[in-house]
Amino acid sequence: MGRSGRAAQTDTARSAYFDRVFAIVAAIPPGRVTTYGTIARALGTPRSARVVGWALNVAPEGAALPCHRVVDRDGNLSGGWHFGHPDIMANRLRDEDVPFVAPYRVDLASCLWDPAEGLVDALGAERERDEQGE
């Protein structure tokens, strides 16, 4: 099979870290947003917020990842230009009824979604049972 040569390594390997980033982004519910730092924290690497942004940078166009639901710590559409124009990203979020506090800034207080919470729901109450033990 003619793999795409040098692209095969980066396109297929894609370090598990990036893969986990994509998994979390794909799990962001409509109408909600999360931040790069929050995703990084959910992965156990709170200092790797920049790497999370990089993951989206190399995210394949074919992947239906709602990368428009990822904003920076202040709710600003820092990656807006990646969609061609920040307005495109903003329109997508508005289409999901995401509240804005500024033309290119969402209201995190209302729509911030913590991946950890979503994962807790996915993993089941097993973790909750552990916390009850405390």
Partner DNA sequence: AGTATGACCAACG
Partner DNA sequence: CCGTTGGCCATAC
The contact set with DNA (CB under 7 A) reads 10, 15, 17-18, 35-38, 45, 47-54, 56-59, 67-68, 70, 72-74, 78-79, 82
- Closer CB to DNA, residue 81 or residue 128? 81
Name the minimum Å distance from CB 48 to DNA: 4
> Residue 72: which region, alpha, beta or left (left: phi > 0; alpha: psi -120 to 50)?
beta
Name the minimum Å distance from CB 125 to DNA: 29
Active-site residue, selected from the candidate residues 40, 42, 65, 67: 67
Contact 45, 55 (CB under 8 A): no
C-alpha 62/C-alpha 105 separation (Å) is: 27
Name the minimum Å distance from CB 38 to DNA: 7
C-alpha 29/C-alpha 112 separation (Å) is: 10
Is 67 part of the annotated catalytic residue set?
A: yes
- Closer CB to DNA, residue 62 or residue 124? 62
SS (H, E, C) 31-58: CCEEEHHHHHHHCCCCCCHHHHHHHHHC
- Closer CB to DNA, residue 42 or residue 67? 67
Q: Write out the catalytic residue numbers.
A: 67
